[in-house]
Amino acid sequence: MEGLLDFVLRDVLTRVGGVDRCVSEFIRVTGSLLSDKVFLRYIPELNNGGRTLAGVPVRAQLLGSDPVSMAENAARLAALGPEGIDLNFGCPAKTVNRHGGGAALLREPETIAAVVAAVRRAVPAHLPVSAKMRLGYDDAGRARECAQAMEHGGACELVVHARTKTDGYRPPAYWEQIPAIRAAVAIPVVANGEIWTLADALRCRSVSGCDALMLGRGVVADPGLALAIRAHDAGLAPEPLSWAALLPQIARFWDLVCEGLEPRQRAGRLKQWLNLLRRRYPEAQQAFDRVRVMTDQRAISLWVRQAAGGEGTPAANGPQRSIFGFAALREHRLLDP
């Protein structure tokens, strides 16, 4: 989820808990061999053994349509130690599709198979290579063919976002179309799309037949969603993550944004998260209204610390281990605790 679920939110959300694995934002491959610096900018967790500081593995995602270039970049990326390589055949962005990437390839199953096979050959055998797709470009007519192309190319797992490119992110997600894809392949299939609540997750499982779910905007809007699903699976009554319990994580998020992102990006990232949190927390509306008109970093920092009651910030808790500083990115090492 480009521009949203970056390394900052991965750190914060995996601290909340309940997540088995993360996938990075897609890294666009357009013909050149990308440098380690580029990969580390997208996935600074590579400085930490390919895991977030909470210990959750991060699979690196590549997007491109040229088998040779994708393979070369996957090989370089694999040397940095990600949990695995994921291939994006689902991005609906016009700019990406116009250049033959993402969901545009769902009209070309033979190219999909070639890309997956090239990447699979280029990386070590122990490294998982997975893929993500939508139901199709305009319709779901070739969904099974595309899924089989990914499997035949060597993908070990398939995530299906249950909408077409044309559907974009408009509700609903068509989970009922996933069973036909599951029946067409022998590899595990993960359901994705429009999972905002525990009730959504349970209904998605029932309709799609998938045990595994990929959470996107839903877990950003409700950081306790993965924990709620786990509690239900364990036969326990889910305990919602309260706003008071979330505030220290919002404070940490802001600290990491200030540390790892350019100044012009910082205020916007906090507003973006608060905007999504409004779906789950009434208190987030007040916070969003307060921060929405702010542009000065010092004023926002003061508000965040006051809102969190002094919790969740380096000033309150002392030094915190970080893998996101620019020095760490340059030197390719962990910072000392």
Give the model's pLDDT for residue 249. Answer: 95
Range with the lowest mean pLDDT among 94-108, 174-188, 201-215?
94-108
Sequence-distant (≥ 6) Cβ neighbours of residue 197 within 8 angstroms: 218, 222, 225
- Closest among 335, 331, 329, 334 to 41, alpha carbons compared: 329
Letter for the amino acid at 297? Q
> Between residues 317 and 146, which one has the greater pLDDT?
146
Residues 158 and 187: beta-carbon distance below 8 Å: yes
Residues 130 and 86: beta-carbon distance below 8 Å: yes
Confidence of residue 335 (pLDDT cuts 50, 70, 90): very low
Cα-based angle 264, 268, 270 (whole degrees, multiple of 5): 125
pTM of the model as a whole: 0.89
Give the model's pLDDT for residue 319. Answer: 39
List pLDDT tens digits, range 294-312: 989 999 999 999 998 864 4
Fold of 243-331: Bacteriocin As-48; Chain A (1.20.225)
Letter for the amino acid at 206? S
Q: Is 7-233's fold the same as 243-331's?
A: no
Q: What is the CA radius of gyration of the chain?
A: 20
Range with the lowest mean pLDDT among 124-133, 255-264, 280-289?
255-264
Q: Does position 324 have pLDDT exceeding 90, yes or no?
A: no
List pLDDT tens digits, range 232-263: 999 999 999 999 999 999 999 999 999 888 89
Mean pLDDT of 185-200: 98
> Between residues 198 and 296, which one has the greater pLDDT?
198
List pLDDT tens digits, range 42-59: 999 999 999 999 999 999
Give the model's pLDDT for residue 314. Answer: 46
Mean pLDDT of 273-284: 96
Mean pLDDT of 206-228: 97
Query: Could you state, in order of their start, the residue ranges of all structural domains in the chain?
Result: 7-233, 243-331
Instruction: Give catalytic residue positions.
Output: 91
Mean pLDDT of 211-233: 97
Write down the CATH superfamily of domain 7-233: Aldolase class I (3.20.20.70)
List pLDDT tens digits, range 128-170: 999 999 999 999 999 999 999 999 999 999 999 999 999 999 9
Residues 46, 41: Cα–Cα separation, whole Å: 10
User: 15 to each of 110, 225, 329, how far by Cα in Å?
Assistant: 40, 13, 21
Sequence-distant (≥ 6) Cβ neighbours of residue 31 within 8 angstroms: 66, 69
